[in-house]
Structure 1
Amino acid sequence: MTLKRKDLLPIQDTREVSLRYVIAVLFFLASMAFLIVLASNRAATGWSREIRSEVTVQVRPTGLETGSVAAARAAEVLAGVSGVKEAAAIEPERAKELIKPWLGDAVLEDLPLPNLVEVRLDDKAPAKTAALSEALAEKEIDATIDDHSTWLEDIEKSALIIRLISISIFLLIASAAAAVVGFATRAGLTARANIVEVLSLCGATDLFIARRFQYRFARMAGLSGLFGAGAAGAVMAVIKVTAASQSFLLALPFSWLDLLVLIPCPLLAAVIAAFTARTVTLRMLGES
């Protein structure tokens, strides 16, 4: 007697519709979590690169010189330091625009604005903070250098936390998918206990029976994973092309290349389902 997969498990089972939906949703969430990991890592890397390449210098005028003159003189000195790409004094109006979001218009009218110099460093061989301080001290310029190290540390910590949370969510969802498949396998095996018993009496091995469930749930989970990954890719595409979400892309800059990581998702879903179904089936048959 030749047994095919459909002899043990029917091709269509209305009870599995909800299971397909649950697995698709789980892998949609897992795919989105992975996409967020990639985007947050890209954002943190970009922000860190920008912060490392810029230094802000606050200049305090000495003697009879004005703040603007002191800032211009500091910019000229810093521009000649090795490892500095560009140095320019920040205009008062621009300084106002930078401070306005934090303090508002009313306060700015009576607030003395700092004299700032924006320094862009060479990407390959950036100047050290000590070298900038030494150059300013030689010209007797009273200034404070902010290398944004505090901001950089906060950004890197935040990015690490986001990555760890997203990876944890991905692993939790994958384990939840395995638990769902395991529950469905137990339910399917219990519902067909009589068939399984007859197959055993006819000489079918536990491995043969386990393979029937393995193939069934692997195929189902693979298809559900495909829908879940496709939905995640569609959501990412909508976010990327929608003009209203451009501010959101500053925090999570998705890339079209990120869609490539969704390709293995159906295979991963099938592998998880196959391993879980096989393990649960063999364990139940061994216990019986």
Structure 2
Amino acid sequence: MTAGKRLRRRDLLPEQDTREVSLHYVIAVLFFLAALSALIALASNRAASGWSREIRAEVTVQVRPTGLESGSVAAARAAEVLAGVPGVKEAAAIEPERAKALIKPWLGDAVLEDLPLPNLVEVRLDEAKPAKATALSEALSEKEIDATIDDHSTWLQDIETSALIIRLISLGIFLLIASAAAAVVGFATRAGLMARANIVEVLSLCGATDTFIAGRFQFRFARMAAISGLLGGVAAGLVMVVIKLTGSSQSLLLALPFSWLDLLVLLPCPLLAALIAAGTARIVTLKMLGKS
């Protein structure tokens, strides 16, 4: 028991080892990438959720005039009918000039001159209890208004599918980085054991158990990985802060709407790094000592 305490006071492994500087760097980079992928996944999911909410809250209605009725009159009449449907927050006919402005980036001025513009009605739905497309269609049919309703369900499905793919990719990246970190720690543990094979042999002859020796390597690499994980998490957080504060690219901020609360996801980085390193070091050490 006294020998065990003496061994614990004078650690088997030195406090500092210049050979492990590169290992610190590699683990820090791995957890920087893992933390950054987590932040991007959160922001992408938030963006997809926001787009889905906006699409669910909007419906576009194309009105076709009948008889001698003009397109603008038919659209105004359809907007008035739709505004009275329960679950509709607002309905308004889109002015021809605004319709031209929406189409212009795609077709240009030359084509617009000869192009018949559609008569559109923009409908905003109540987010709490949105009206169904069938209810809108029935209301228009009762007033004998010929119209086609587009609830953007195709776009919504594409966005939700993309969000799911982003989540799966982020999970895959995290698992890949975690396995890479475990492999790096495992290699370093093997190298450390081989470099100190004579010390390990003497300790075994003195009665030190495999569990005790494994505990030394486990604590050493867990502490090292915790520091590296902290540095990687801080670096990822700084990148997010710079992007959010500078706002250098509005398109980037639109695609990745970071939130300050996202920084909370970085808190477990040191603990997670330590757990991966400790578990890997313990398994590798016990396995190697068992074979010797």
Which TM class, normalised by the smaller chain length? over 0.9
| Amino acid paired to 1:63 | G
| Amino acid paired to 1:120 | R
What is the percent sequence identity of the aligned residues?
A: 84
| Amino acid paired to 2:250 | Q
Q: Which runs of 4+ in 1 moved over 6 A?
A: none
Q: Contact 1:75/1:88 (CA < 8 Å) preserved in 2? A: yes
Q: Match of 1:86? A: 90
Q: Match of 2:80? A: 76
Distance across 2 between alignment mates of 1:28 and 1:150: 36
> Where do 5+ consecutive residues of structure 1 fail to align?
none
Distance across 1 between alignment mates of 2:289 and 2:9: 18
| Structure 2 counterparts to residues 68-217 of structure 1, below 5 A | 68-217=72-221
Cα distance, 1:283 vs structure 2? 0.5
Distance across 2 between alignment mates of 1:169 and 1:12: 31
| Amino acid paired to 1:251 | A
Q: Contact 2:247/2:253 (CA < 8 Å) preserved in 1? A: no
Distance across 2 between alignment mates of 1:5 and 1:273: 22
SS of residue paired to 1:4: helix
Distance across 2 between alignment mates of 1:107 and 1:96: 11
| Amino acid paired to 1:239 | I
Aligned length: 288
Q: Contact 1:240/1:246 (CA < 8 Å) preserved in 2? A: no
Q: Match of 2:59? A: 55
Q: TM-score, normalised by structure 1?
A: 0.97
| Amino acid paired to 1:224 | S
Distance across 2 between alignment mates of 1:196 and 1:102: 73
The answer to whether structure 1 residue 30 and structure 2 residue 65 are counterparts is no
Cα deviations across residues 157-216 of structure 1 (Å, max 9, x unaligned)? 011011100110011001100110000000001111001001101111001100100010
Residue of 269, 283, 290 corresponding to 1:286: 290
Classify 1:269/1:6 alpha carbon distance in 2 versus 1 (closer, same or farther; 3 Å).
farther
Distance across 1 between alignment mates of 2:89 and 2:131: 9
SS of residue paired to 2:261: helix
Q: Contact 1:5/1:212 (CA < 8 Å) preserved in 2? A: no
> Where do 5+ consecutive residues of structure 2 fail to align?
none
Q: Match of 1:11? A: 15
User: How well do the aligned residues superpose, as a CA RMSD in angstroms?
Assistant: 1.1
| Amino acid paired to 2:186 | G
Distance across 1 between alignment mates of 2:108 and 2:195: 69
